[in-house]
Amino acid sequence: MRPFYPNSIEQLLSRAQALSGLSLLALAKLTQQVLPQDFRHAKGWLGQTLEQLLGATSGNLAQPDFPHLGVELKTLPLTLRGTPKESTYICTAPIPNPDFHWRQSRVYLKTAKILWVPFLAEALPLPERQLGQPFLWQMDATSEAILQQDWTELVEKINLGAVSHLSAHPGQYLQLRPKAANSKTLIQVVNQQGNPISIVPKGFYLRSQFTRQLLAKFYAGS
């Protein structure tokens, strides 16, 4: 265990709260980095910087950022109106999918407990954009019912080889989207007819419709 690894959820949350209000420029200085001009060529910059500041181990496998605590760290880009600008990437979607049970699935393990760190993702120049109040979210029965239903439906499509349905359309809270360097990155899969075909690798994402609800509940309770 690295020295800086947080020992409890309370410690982790407390550290994250200490960062709220800081600008991206301040974060860059804290970590002795140069802030990128924009995120076009450094899309993961904030997420990776926060991992460093909060003591997450980098280069994780299919497990949460803080395995000991079961907590996943996610940044949440906000519009000026305070709503999520983007969907949230969860994990790659293996094809075929080897996870049989929802509770053992990568999606569940990555979404059961999430430390969300909102930040302003528009209007101001990048260096001046600030972190918002972080909040810990734990999956509740209502969310889980829908996420499990989505997951089950999507995994079924994957394992049946229903390739034409592996689009971003199905799923209420959870969806499949391309996850690759570009659209020429292809993997071989077997379709419903049993024939090998090429498709772009997929990942699981949380729709912003879902994260908007989490934010609203947090605001209501605080």
Residues that bind DNA (CB under 7 A): 38-44, 46-48, 50-51, 58-62, 65, 72-75, 77, 86-89, 91-92, 94, 106, 110, 121, 167-169, 175, 177-185, 187, 200-201, 203, 207-209
Helix (H, G, I), strand (E, B) or coil at 69: coil
Shortest distance (Å) from residue 119 CB to DNA: 7
CA distance 17 to 134: 6
> Which residue, 111 or 148, is less far from DNA as judged by CB?
111
In single-letter form, the type of residue at position 68 comes to: H
Residue 12's CB is within 10 A of a number of other CB atoms, namely: 23
In single-letter form, the type of residue at position 79 comes to: T
H-helix or E-strand spanning residue 179: none
Q: Are 172 and 146 in contact (CB under 8 A)?
A: yes
CA distance 133 to 173: 23
In single-letter form, the type of residue at position 145 comes to: A
Shortest distance (Å) from residue 124 CB to DNA: 13
> Which residue, 141 or 166, is less far from DNA as judged by CB?
166
> Which residue, 49 or 148, is less far from DNA as judged by CB?
49
> Which residue, 113 or 179, is less far from DNA as judged by CB?
179
H-helix or E-strand spanning residue 160: helix 141-160
> Which residue, 148 or 166, is less far from DNA as judged by CB?
166
CA distance 17 to 19: 5
Shortest distance (Å) from residue 91 CB to DNA: 5
Shortest distance (Å) from residue 100 CB to DNA: 18
Q: Are 105 and 99 in contact (CB under 8 A)?
A: yes
> Which residue, 107 or 161, is less far from DNA as judged by CB?
107
Shortest distance (Å) from residue 202 CB to DNA: 9
Shortest distance (Å) from residue 179 CB to DNA: 5
